[in-house]
Chain A
Amino acid sequence: MKHPITLDINGERYEIAVEPDDILVDVIREHLDLTGTKKSCGSGECGSCTVLMDGLPVPSCLILALDARGKKITTIEGLSKGGHLHPLQRAFVEKGAIQCGFCTPGMILAAKALLDENPAPGEEEIRTAISGNLCRCTGYKKIIEAIETVQK
Chain B
Amino acid sequence: MAEFEYFEPKDLREAFGLLAAYGSEAAILAGGTDLLVKIKEEIYEPRYVVNIKRIPGLRYIIYDEEGLRMGALTLFRDITRSDLIRDKYPALFSAAQRMGSPLIRNLATLGGNLIQSSPSADSAPPLLVYSAQVKLVSSRGERTIPLEDFFLGPGKNARSPDEVMTEIQLPAPDGQVKSSFRKLSRRKGTDLAMVNIAAMLMLDSSDGWCADIKIALGAVAPVPMRAKKAERTLVGKKLDLSVIREAALTAQKEAAPISDVRASAEYRLDMVRVLTEKVISDLLNS
Interface residues of A (CB under 8 A from B): 1, 3, 19-21, 23, 42-45, 47, 50, 53, 56-59, 61-64, 66-67, 110, 128-129, 131-133
Contacts and interface: CB of A to CB of B under 8 A. Distances in A.
Contacts of B36: 23, 44, 61-64
B6 A131 contact: no
A131 B188 contact: yes
A66 B6 contact: yes
Contacts of A44: 33, 36-37, 100-101, 103-104
B253 to A, nearest CB: 34
A20 B3 contact: yes
Interface in B178-221: 188-190
Contacts of B33: 44, 59, 62
Contacts of A110: 102-103
A53 B106 CA distance: 9
Contact of A21 (B4, B8, B51, B188): B4
Interface string B37-49: 1011100000001
B107 A62 contact: yes
B5 interface: yes
Contacts of A62: 32-33, 36-37, 107
Contact of A47 (B3, B8, B103): B103
A21 B3 contact: yes
14 contacts: A20-B3, A43-B41, A45-B101, A56-B77, A57-B103, A58-B107, A61-B36, A64-B32, A64-B36, A64-B49, A110-B102, A132-B102, A132-B104, A133-B103
B6 A132 contact: no
A20 B3 CA distance: 8
Contacts of B29: 64, 67
A131 B102 contact: yes
B44 to A, nearest CB: 13
Contacts of B59: none
A132 B8 CA distance: 29
A58 B103 contact: yes
Contact of B32 (A47, A63, A128, A131): A63
Contacts, number: 83
Contacts of A56: 77, 106
A62 to B, nearest CB: 4
For the complex, would chain B's binding face be called helix, strand, loop or mixed by DSSP majority?
loop
Interface in B1-35: 1-6, 8, 29, 32-33
Which of the listed residues B29, B37, B77, B188 has the most CB atoms from chain A within 10 Å of its own CB?
A: B37
A95 B140 CA distance: 61
B29 to A, nearest CB: 7
Contact of B6 (A43, A47, A58, A64): A64
A110 B190 CA distance: 15
Contacts of B238: none
A131 B1 contact: no
Contacts of A57: 102-103, 106
B101 A47 contact: yes
Given A44-B33, A61-B36, A66-B51, 8 more contacts: A21-B2, A45-B101, A64-B29, A66-B8, A67-B32, A67-B53, A131-B190, A132-B101
Contacts of B103: 44, 47, 50, 57-59, 110, 132-133
